[in-house]
Chain A
Amino acid sequence: MPILSIMILLPVVAALVVATLPGGDAERAGRARVVALATTLVEFAAGIWLWLNFDAASPAFQFGEQLELFAPYFGWSLGIDGIALMLIMLSVFLMPLCVLASWAAVNKRVPEYMAAFLLMESLMIGTFAARDIFLFYLFFEGGLIPMFLIIGIWGGARRIYASYKFFLYTLLGSVLMLVAMLWMVGQAGSSDIGVLARTDFPVGAQFWLFLAFFASFAVKMPMWPVHTWLPDAHVEAPTAGSVILAGVLLKLGGYGFIRFSLPMFPDASAQLIWLVFALSMVAVVYTSLVALVQHDMKKLIAYSSVAHMAFVTGGLFALNTQGIEGAMLLMLSHGLVSGALFLCVGVIYDRLHTREIGRYGGLADTMPKYALVLLFFTMASVGLPATSGFVAEFLVLLGLYQTSTWACLVLTTGIILGAGYMLWLYARVAYGKAAGDDTRAMPDLSAREIAILAPIVIATLWMGIYPKSFQTPMKPAIAAVVARLDGRELATVPTAMTLSPALPALASPAHAAESHH
């Protein structure tokens, strides 16, 4: 059964159905919501089926499909490894929650809204499942169109500025990557990602190719200093748009690094870790400080996302098993936790229609259930043990310590700063006195809201307490990437930064892959 094609095409069909529903406005809106929810649930079920039937011991692409529909330009070539599987799971898990979160909050042009989200889902799954580099690009870039419309039509006051910024920033990054892709495919004679990942490009060319891909992924990630589109896009996007943006779209950058940059340009990656580390270090400290002074809750969480993503790049470019595994887990964890935090902001935004932190307060008294959930996700974002954030950040720092102690040291301060802004946010929102009568009058979580947030709580705890279920499928794929990086000459700058060489080395990149099994 071509399960991946079905998962990609089903939302497209559903989007067409939703957009062409008959009836009056109210009827169409109601039907659109039901169709969208049903479709996303079917997708989630299909995702679980994928996971259950996935052979976690194999590093190969599974559920492969190959159709020469678009020769000679590219092929409809699909397949997933453990990394792609986990990210697809994240997407299909968050999608029904996004539909539910928009159930009552979106009243304007509901069928179009749901259609845009369904298209988004299809493009995200396609991005992770593509095994042809141009098919990947098609899905990767195609996501811009629905997201542009979601921000521009259903966003807040400065939505138009934000939608333009989002679109043009990411497009500019991507076209440079496309030039590099065209060159690579010309050299390697195949557009298959697996073949390209085994091709040894000349070291001199790798440098430029790496930078071209870096331009795209750094914008998507987003890394400092090209992160400025993210706070704008987040603040103006509707709640569900923010969830998808933070939950899945930000993962495209990290996915790109691990799928393309690391295995295809291993020498350049090893030589340019100083660049990535420097940007990550600046990002963690700078955006954490910026997050501290935000008055807008969504902006605060957006800046915290940039800081968390800097952890991801730091972990990926540690170039060892622990670092990459930690980065992958952090992407999953961040997808859940920041998605949930945006949902939490959405809950009170729906009631008071403001995201000003100063307009809230005392919610622990008036909305105890809400305060509990918010506390849980605040802690998960900070990285409290037993939540997913802890496992992920710990692994990242462990891996990073071996490659560059300095980078590890600076990134660790990010955890402290993160605790600072998150706890302060919580204190201002949940403790103290209510800012006004309207704040005091807000009702607690409804059954629908609990139904949205509870699954994320469970998933976060699961990943924090028993991360093995998420790590196991990814291990072979990550081992393959590490094997590609094995023995490459690292840039000398960061390795010389090691504070105390006498510390017991955990494992060199060369042995990390084996010793970890």
Chain B
Amino acid sequence: MHPILASIAIAGPETILTLGSLAALMLGSFTPQHRALTVTSLFAVAILAVAGFSLLDAPAGRSIAFDGLYVADDFSAFLKVIILAAAAASVLLALPWLGERGPDGISFGRFEYPVLLLLAALGMAMMVSANDLLSLYVGLELAALPSYVLAAFARNDARSSEAGLKYFVLGALASGMLLYGVTLVYGFAGSTQLDVIAGLVQGQAERSIGLLFGIVFLLAGLAFKVSAVPFHMWTPDVYEGAPTPVAAFFSAAPKAAALGLMARVLVVAFPGAVAADWQQIIMVIAIASMVLGAVAAVAQTNVKRLLAYSSIANIGFALVGLAPASPAGISALLFYISVYVAMTLGSFLVVLQLRRPDGSPVEAMADLAGLSKSQPRLALALAIFMFSLAGIPPLLGFWPKFAVFQAAIASGLLGLAIIGFVASVIAAFYYLRLIKIMYFDEPALALASSGSPVNGAMIAACAIFCSPIGMLAMSPLAVATARAAAALFPA
């Protein structure tokens, strides 16, 4: 077979997503307008599902394509499953919101929404399969550009436009820094391909300052994408301003992709002696994110801002798994990502499902007062997500925290674990506050449910997964994450 054809075959999911997104664009344009959104959305979900199933067909082990730009291994396959599932959920969960009309009679129900999501999913799939700093950058930008548009999707809403603009400006800045880091690494190491960099860097007699600078800039750009402190500033504003379905999307799939990318770049390209340099940085970022995410969330009154700070704190916990640079740590990181995606999507789904009596969406935490009486099932689901995010056993959310700290302690990072656990107690305070508002306070508003059965089913699925029943999934997940993590560490 021609090498290009072989490469295309290896990059199966990406090929499907590329062709699928172009087809979805055509489909949307040539379908009568009142059906365009539904048809395109279902088509997009089907494409995502096909891309997911194509992963089953992939050859075992590690396959390199496009002259080393692209790699398909267990690590990328595991993350792609999460990314594709989260993207499909994001397409579906937006449908009720897209179908509604705002107070000024304008509907945002345009078919571009699922197409943009498909393109973003393509970019994210590229990110986790990037084996070269250049393909990494291309994947990152391909994921980011549709995200800017999505953030501003409610085009008549000033807050949404502001969120889009803010995200774009800061995102462009972060991309610039990342690119600067890439040039430095290339200049001081001599290659852009991750495994080649590893060999060159380990061969160097002494560590060069220039390379260190390159790593720092690279990490700054990546930290922005995962919204880790101190590059988190955009997160609360964008989550608050962007339409809720978009915020739900931002909190799930891109985080998984960026964390996966970060893990691959650091572990594959900078192993051994160089690892100590970036491990320190990761530890500082992790501690800062856990602590700031926990402390700053205490003062929030808006549910979406609260969830934004919660995602900052959770990224901090996930990064604890990256800090030891060990297979156990990466495995814990992947476990964390898979549970975190379910918890955060579930929380956003509940917020999305709730309606004030006048039909407007719920945003203020005070609106949720007495939810356990007006909507007991949604309140129960949100309580499960909150206790799970707080990491209280026996809910599933406890175990990823357990796994990352276990990996950290096994590598001797005892201080990191202690700070992390203390931060999780502070964080428990604000998760409890939401539960207090729902269960202890008297009802303020008679909240209604939007009644979307699809979203209801997704909430139920996420809630069951995060409940103690989900612990039954831990064993199979552990096998999968261990295999995926082993792919980053050449035997």
Using a CB–CB cutoff of 8 Å, the interface residues on chain A facing chain B are 68-73, 134, 137-139, 141-142, 144-145, 148-149, 152-153, 159-160, 163-164, 167-168, 171-172, 175-176, 178-179, 182-183, 186
Cross-chain contact A175 with B475 (CB below 8 angstroms):
no
Residues of B close to A69: CB separation below 8 A: 471-472, 475
Taking A71-B478, A144-B392, A152-B436 as contacts, is the C-beta distance between A179 and B425 under 8 angstroms?
no
Cross-chain contact B475 with A71 (CB below 8 angstroms):
yes
> 20 A-B Cβ contacts within 8 A?
A68-B475, A70-B471, A73-B402, A73-B474, A134-B402, A137-B393, A141-B392, A141-B398, A142-B393, A142-B394, A145-B392, A149-B439, A152-B439, A163-B440, A167-B428, A168-B432, A176-B418, A182-B402, A186-B406, A186-B409
Cross-chain contact B478 with A73 (CB below 8 angstroms):
yes
Q: Is B403 an interface residue (CB 8 A)?
A: yes
Residues of A close to B465: CB separation below 8 A: none
Cross-chain contact B425 with A171 (CB below 8 angstroms):
yes
> Closest residue to B441 on the A side, CB-wise?
A160
Residues of B close to A73: CB separation below 8 A: 399, 402-403, 474, 478
Cross-chain contact B425 with A138 (CB below 8 angstroms):
no
Q: Is B424 an interface residue (CB 8 A)?
A: yes
Residues of A close to B428: CB separation below 8 A: 167-168, 171
Residues of B close to A137: CB separation below 8 A: 393
Residues of A close to B409: CB separation below 8 A: 179, 182-183, 186
Taking A72-B478, A73-B478, A176-B421 as contacts, is the C-beta distance between A148 and B432 under 8 angstroms?
yes
Q: Is the interface of A mostly helix, strand, loop or mixed?
A: helix
Taking A138-B394, A175-B424 as contacts, is the C-beta distance between A159 and B475 under 8 angstroms?
no
Residues of B close to A145: CB separation below 8 A: 387, 392
CB distance from A165 to the nearest CB of B (A): 11
Residues of A close to B439: CB separation below 8 A: 149, 152-153
Cross-chain contact B399 with A159 (CB below 8 angstroms):
no
Cross-chain contact A182 with B406 (CB below 8 angstroms):
yes
Cross-chain contact A172 with B478 (CB below 8 angstroms):
no
CB distance from B321 to the nearest CB of A (A): 14
Q: Is B108 an interface residue (CB 8 A)?
A: no
* Bound Cα distance from A153 to B432, whole angstroms: 13
Cross-chain contact A167 with B422 (CB below 8 angstroms):
no
> Closest residue to B331 on the A side, CB-wise?
A72
Q: Is B417 an interface residue (CB 8 A)?
A: yes
Residues of B close to A176: CB separation below 8 A: 418, 421
Residues of B close to A148: CB separation below 8 A: 432, 435
Residues of B close to A179: CB separation below 8 A: 405, 409, 414, 417-418, 421
Q: Is B429 an interface residue (CB 8 A)?
A: yes
Cross-chain contact B425 with A172 (CB below 8 angstroms):
yes
A73-B402, A175-B422, A182-B402 known; 9 other A-B pairs, CB under 8 Å?
A73-B478, A138-B394, A142-B392, A148-B432, A160-B440, A168-B425, A168-B428, A175-B425, A179-B421
Q: Is B461 an interface residue (CB 8 A)?
A: no
> Closest residue to B411 on the A side, CB-wise?
A186
B369-424 contacts to A (CB < 8 Å): 387, 392-394, 398-399, 402-403, 405-406, 409-410, 414, 417-418, 421-422, 424
Residues of A close to B393: CB separation below 8 A: 137-138, 141-142
Q: Is the interface of B mostly helix, strand, loop or mixed?
A: helix
Residues of A close to B398: CB separation below 8 A: 138, 141
* Bound Cα distance from A149 to B387, whole angstroms: 12
Interface string of B414-454 (1 = CB under 8 A from A): 10011001101100110010011001100000000000000
* Bound Cα distance from A152 to B432, whole angstroms: 11
Cross-chain contact B478 with A164 (CB below 8 angstroms):
no
Cross-chain contact A153 with B440 (CB below 8 angstroms):
yes
Cross-chain contact A164 with B432 (CB below 8 angstroms):
yes
Cross-chain contact B392 with A164 (CB below 8 angstroms):
no
Residues of A close to B392: CB separation below 8 A: 141-142, 144-145, 171
CB distance from B391 to the nearest CB of A (A): 9
CB distance from A69 to the nearest CB of B (A): 7
> Closest residue to A126 on the B side, CB-wise?
B394
* Bound Cα distance from A142 to B478, whole angstroms: 23
Residues of B close to A183: CB separation below 8 A: 409, 414
Residues of B close to A70: CB separation below 8 A: 471-472, 474-475
* Bound Cα distance from A142 to B424, whole angstroms: 15
> Closest residue to A142 on the B side, CB-wise?
B394
- Pick from B405, B471, B475: contact of A182, CB under 8 Å: B405
Residues of B close to A152: CB separation below 8 A: 436, 439-440
B464-489 contacts to A (CB < 8 Å): 471-472, 474-475, 478
> Closest residue to B472 on the A side, CB-wise?
A69
* Bound Cα distance from A138 to B392, whole angstroms: 8
Residues of A close to B471: CB separation below 8 A: 69-70
* Bound Cα distance from A167 to B429, whole angstroms: 9
> Closest residue to A164 on the B side, CB-wise?
B432
Residues of A close to B424: CB separation below 8 A: 175
Residues of B close to A178: CB separation below 8 A: 402, 405, 421
> Closest residue to B428 on the A side, CB-wise?
A171
Cross-chain contact A167 with B432 (CB below 8 angstroms):
yes
* Bound Cα distance from A374 to B392, whole angstroms: 39
Residues of A close to B403: CB separation below 8 A: 73
* Bound Cα distance from A141 to B393, whole angstroms: 6
> Closest residue to A76 on the B side, CB-wise?
B471
> Closest residue to A183 on the B side, CB-wise?
B409
B248-295 contacts to A (CB < 8 Å): none
